[in-house]
Amino acid sequence: MMIFCALCYAFAVSVSSSLYVLLAESILPVILLCRKKFPLPYILKLNVINALMVITLALTWPDLREGLMMGMVIAWRVNIIYVVFAALVFPLGLGAVYSLAMPEKFRVLVILTVRGIFILRDSLDSALVSAKLRAPDAGLMMRLKIFAYVLGSVLIRSANRSERMTQAVELRGGFKGFMQDRKGEAAC
Amino acid sequence: MLEVKDLRYRYPDGHEALRGVTFRVNDGEKVALVGANGSGKSTLLLLIAGALEVKEGGITFGGKAANVGLTFQDADDELLMPSVLEDVAFSLVAGGMSVSKAHERAVRMLESLGIAHLAQRPPHRLSGGEKRIVSFAGVLVREPEILALDEPSAGLDPRARRRVINFLRETERTILLATHDLDMALDICTRAVILSDGVVAAEGKLPDLFTDREILEANGLELPLRYAML
Amino acid sequence: MHISEGILSGGVLIAGWAVTCAGVGVGLKRTDPAKIVRTALLASAFFLASLVHVKIGPGSAHLLLIAPMGIILGWAVFPAVLAALMLQALLFGFGGLLVLGVNTMVMAGSALAVYGVFGRAVRERGSLAMAFIAGVSGVMLAAVFAGICLALSDSGFVNAAKILAVAHIPVALIEGAVTAFLVAWLKKAAPEFLS
């Protein structure tokens, strides 16, 4: 429900261009900013990127003044939307995603992609470190080759691991075992 | 009783992993399957567990339906869910049990193994030993009659390894333990089957079989540390 | 390549989600349940690889890996990309949730187009030239799709869209090289993976 509300709010902000409407829509993020602690570096980084975007739009827009205004409106919208998401959605974590209404196959895909990220992260890092140690002065082409070869190796290992994981799923009764929601209520 | 008769298996790529394996395991017995890498141990366990289809030869369970719980060499291959509790409950939910009932049983299983405190932890935040015990929980919750374990000590530190050994020693289930860790096999099992190149090269009681240096070396194995140091 | 929140019009956002839902629906239908685990692990491999900083000259870049994803995942690329981008937003706070539909459409749509046009030549014949062209095309297609979304949102974005496309040419060439090297490696080390 929280995710749905946040998305609706973000949509409303995205389609707003009136300054008064944006001002009204800024009340919620201001309240959220006052109530919760926000990682300041994240907000600053967001606005550095916004600043670049404002300049780019101003320079590429048919009319310079209009481009600058548009850039600032977009930057304003971005800040509102990100503060709302950061306060209301991101803290919910993955549990909220798993309990969203979505096709079961997709939910299983998301669950296993998360597992895959944590399983593969270390082995990819190790492979890249090892490659770097073995070719410390590699030029651009060599670096791209190394990256491609490491990627190939990780893809093959992932595919092989997926066969074993599929066997594990089948041995444990099949994909119905994924039908558990975070609150422990009956899902089947 | 588990009976394996003239079991053969060839993978789709043509590799013949098993070339006529025959042996028997009695109820409650703990048998070690040992052999060098590529001898066919993992393939044999997968066939016994039903993950691979038997095409040549036979596997019977004394006239009963098979109820084999298999743990994989790499615990990460079988820890699928976002939390330990959900992972242990996985096979119960898959079998049609309601989620709440499955979670209750899973909690009891975790408590019996002394790892109830890990219930809400995601698998990637577990140590190697914890992952191994959780994978046992996920298999034991279905109450298998036969526990098939593929290299259960792989990647474990000495303390975690000892914990696994103690756990397996105490269980009364039939155990098939595929391992390179001959010292672990000696601590848990009463009999061993040595596989070599897809066939049974030797079979016998422990510790006698593992004191025969010639047989061990002929099959790519070495004396267990406890004998090697004498 | 990610378009940020707050830029696109309501109509483009809705259209993006509609195309993404359709693509994900078809992708899931065409993916055998037994292959879901494989799709998930390959998706996570691509996701992690796309986070890697590849040093290029004085700076570094993240590769998009659009062509490799399309060639290897085929129709499953739509659900895989949606899952990966969703997790990127939730796990790392990078990228938006409302604009997820458009970003998925841009990346997965380009990957699927590459699969459709070059998939056979690369997978069955292992053609490195085709792999290079596929890599370049994947990125340029994504830049063009993103540009179209911007231009449809507001005509004032047209110049920015053109600059976006041109700015991606160097990345496209690099991706072409990486795709060719990857296919060469797979052809040698694991040809069955491509078939």
Q: A6 CA to chain B: closest CA distance, Å? A: 24
Find the DSSP H helices in C126-168: 128-153, 158-167
Give pLDDT, residue B156: 87
Which residues, 6+ apart, have CB-to-CB distance to B104 below 8 Å?
Answer: none
- Cross-chain Cβ contact C55/A143 below 8 Å: yes
User: Is residue B72 in some structural domain?
Assistant: no
Closest to A172 (Cβ–Cβ): which among B98, B123, B138?
Answer: B138
Q: Could you tell me if B157 and B89 lie in one domain?
A: no
Closest to A147 (Cβ–Cβ): which among C44, C90, C178?
Answer: C178
Residue B180 sits in a domain of what CATH number?
3.40.50.300
Q: Could you tell me if B86 and B47 lie in one domain?
A: no
Closest residue, chain A, to C192 (C-alpha): A156
By residue count, chain A amounts to 188
The chain-wide mean pLDDT, for chain C, equals 91
By residue count, chain B amounts to 230
What pairing do the DSSP bridges indicate for beta strands B146-150 and B174-178?
parallel
Mark which residues 55-84 of A lie under 8 Å from C by CB.
Answer: 56-57, 60-62, 66-67, 70, 74-78, 80-82
Above 70 in pLDDT, residue A184?
no
- Annotate C49-101 with DSSP letters as a single string: HHTSPEEETTEEE----HHHHHHHHGGGHHHHHHHHHHHHHHHH--S-STTHH
Q: Could you tell me if B91 and B196 lie in one domain?
A: no
User: Is residue B190 in some structural domain?
Assistant: yes
- Cross-chain Cβ contact A165/B138 below 8 Å: no
Above 90 in pLDDT, residue C192?
no
Residues of A in contact with C128 (CB under 8 A): none
- Cross-chain Cβ contact B90/A98 below 8 Å: no
Give pLDDT, residue A182: 47
User: Which one of A155, A161, A167, A176 makes the best mutation probe of the C interface by having the most chain C beta carbons within 10 Å?
Assistant: A155
Q: Which amino acid is at B67?
A: N
- Annotate A36-92 with DSSP letters as a single string: S---HHHHHHHHHHHHHHHHHHHHHSSSHHHHHHHHHHHHHHHHHHHHHHHHHTGGG
Q: Say if residues B37 and B178 touch (Cβ distance below 8 Å).
A: no
β partners of residue B86: none
Q: How far apart are CA C46 and CA C67, in angstroms?
A: 11
- Number of C-beta neighbours around residue C4 at 10 A: 20
Find the DSSP H helices in chain B: 41-49, 84-94, 99-112, 128-140, 158-170, 182-188, 213-218, 225-228
Q: How far apart are CA C16 and CA C146, in angstroms?
A: 11
Phi, psi of B53 (to 5 degrees): -85, 130
Q: How far apart are CA B142 and CA B100, in angstroms?
A: 16
Closest to A152 (Cβ–Cβ): which among C4, C41, C185?
Answer: C185
Q: Could you tell me if B138 and B180 lie in one domain?
A: no
Q: Which chains touch A (3 or more CB pairs under 8 A)?
A: B, C
Residue owning tokens 């009340």: A27
Q: Could you tell me if B157 and B112 lie in one domain?
A: no
Q: How far apart are CA A69 and CA A65, in angstroms?
A: 6
Q: How far apart are CA B100 and CA C134, in angstroms?
A: 50
The chain-wide mean pLDDT, for chain A, equals 83
Q: pLDDT, tens digit, for every residue of A13-46?
A: 988 878 888 888 888 888 888 776 666 777 788 8
Phi, psi of A89 (to 5 degrees): -105, -50
Give pLDDT, residue A17: 78
Give pLDDT, residue A134: 78
Q: pLDDT, tens digit, for every residue of C92-145?
A: 777 788 999 999 999 999 999 999 999 999 988 888 999 999 999 999 999 999
Mark which residues 18-57 of C lie under 8 Å from A by CB.
Answer: 24-25, 28, 31, 33-34, 36-45, 47-49, 52, 54-57
Q: Does domain C10-194 have CATH number 1.20.1530.20?
A: no
Higher pLDDT, C90 or C112: C112
Q: Could you tell me if B37 and B110 lie in one domain?
A: no
Give pLDDT, residue A37: 64
Q: Which pair of tokens denotes residue B61?
A: 């369970």
Q: C161 CA to chain A: closest CA distance, Å? A: 9
Range of the domain at B208: 2-64+145-228
Question: Quick one: what percent of chain A has pLDDT higher than 90?
Answer: 20
Which residue ranges of chain B lie beneath pLDDT 50? none
Q: Could you tell me if B130 and B18 lie in one domain?
A: no
Q: Could you tell me if B59 and B162 lie in one domain?
A: yes
Closest to B91 (Cβ–Cβ): which among A115, A165, A177?
Answer: A177
Closest to A184 (Cβ–Cβ): which among B46, B78, B103?
Answer: B103
Give pLDDT, residue C71: 94
Q: How far is CA B103 from CA A112, B71, B116, C96, in A?
A: 20, 20, 12, 34
User: Is residue B166 in some structural domain?
Assistant: yes
Given B125, B143, B161, the domain boundary residue is B143
Q: How far apart are CA B10 and CA B30, in angstroms?
A: 27
Give pLDDT, residue A110: 93
Give pLDDT, residue A180: 81
Taking one residue from A and the other from B, the number of pairs with CB-CB distance under 8 angstroms is 91
User: Which one of B45, B80, B104, B121 makes the best mutation probe of the A interface by having the most chain A beta carbons within 10 Å?
Assistant: B80
Give pLDDT, residue A181: 62
- Number of C-beta neighbours around residue A56 at 10 A: 16
Q: Say if residues B182 and B228 touch (Cβ distance below 8 Å).
A: no
Q: Where are the domains of chain C?
A: 10-194
Question: Quick one: what percent of chain B has pLDDT higher than 90?
Answer: 54
- Cross-chain Cβ contact C52/A67 below 8 Å: no
Q: Could you tell me if B128 and B184 lie in one domain?
A: no
Question: Quick one: what percent of chain C has pLDDT higher than 90?
Answer: 66
User: Is residue B202 in some structural domain?
Assistant: yes
Higher pLDDT, C110 or A78: C110
Above 60 in pLDDT, residue A188?
no
Given B143, B169, B191, the domain boundary residue is B143
User: Is residue B74 in some structural domain?
Assistant: no
Q: How far apart are CA A155 and CA C91, in angstroms?
A: 22
Which residues, 6+ apart, have CB-to-CB distance to A132 below 8 Å?
Answer: A146
Q: Could you tell me if B179 and B193 lie in one domain?
A: yes
- Cross-chain Cβ contact C160/A56 below 8 Å: yes
Q: How far apart are CA C195 and CA A57, in angstroms?
A: 45
For residue B156, which of B127, B182, B126 has the smallest C-alpha distance? B127
- The mean pLDDT value for C8-35 works out to 94
Q: Could you tell me if B10 and B108 lie in one domain?
A: no
β partners of residue B160: none
Q: Say if residues C21 and A101 touch (Cβ distance below 8 Å).
A: no
How buried is residue B44: exposed, middle or buried, by Cβ count under 10 Å (0-12/13-18/19+)? buried
As for how many domains chain B has, the answer is 2
Higher pLDDT, C78 or A33: C78
β partners of residue B81: none
Q: Chain C contact for A4, CB < 8 A?
A: no
Q: How far apart are CA A155 and CA C185, in angstroms?
A: 11
Give pLDDT, residue B123: 87
Q: Which chains touch B (3 or more CB pairs under 8 A)?
A: A
Mark which residues 83-142 of C lie under 8 Å from A by CB.
Answer: 83-84, 86-87, 89-91, 93, 96-98
Planar angle of CA A81, A85, A90, nearest 5 degrees: 160
User: Is residue B69 in some structural domain?
Assistant: no
Mark which residues 159-178 of A lie under 8 Å from B by CB.
Answer: 161, 164-165, 167-178
Q: How far apart are CA B62 and CA B81, in angstroms?
A: 34
Q: Say if residues B73 and B21 touch (Cβ distance below 8 Å).
A: no
Closest to C84 (Cβ–Cβ): which among A111, A113, A120?
Answer: A113
Q: Could you tell me if B169 and B116 lie in one domain?
A: no
